[in-house]
Amino acid sequence: MKTAFRSLNTDDRRVHVVFDGQDLSLPDGENLAASLLAAGIHRFRETPASGAPRAPYCMMGACYDCLVEIDGIVRQACLVTVQEGMTIRKPHEPQDE
């Protein structure tokens, strides 16, 4: 799927991050949600009730469609900046034990 999102800054320093096991090179210090979209990531999570795919919507922290797990902590990707070595994955619902 071709994405309509792209980085406007081509001279930015890029850093290595991992999203759901996929190695990515993203611009250091840029908005994480926007950077993931520009890298072609279109599914950040699934809704718990129906499993419908979700991705960033408001890009300002008012909704929770961009939730991801970053280094073990569930956060809104639109409120986080890209940093070297981030391990990002789709958040998972806790398992019943």
Calculate mean pLDDT across residues 35-57: 94
pLDDT at 95: 45
Phi, psi angle pair for 77, to nearest 5°: -65, -25
The larger pLDDT score, comparing residue 96 to residue 76, is at 76
Which residue(s) pair with 54 in the sheet?
45
The answer on pLDDT for 37 being more than 90 is yes
Mark out the alpha helices in the chain (DSSP H runs). 32-38
Residue 75's DSSP bridge partners are: 68
- Whether residue 79 has pLDDT greater than 90: yes
Question: Are 69 and 93 contacting, i.e. CB atoms less than 8 angstroms apart?
Answer: no
CA distance 40 to 34: 10
Domains of the chain in start order, with CATH, are 26-89 (3.10.20)
pLDDT of residue 12: 73
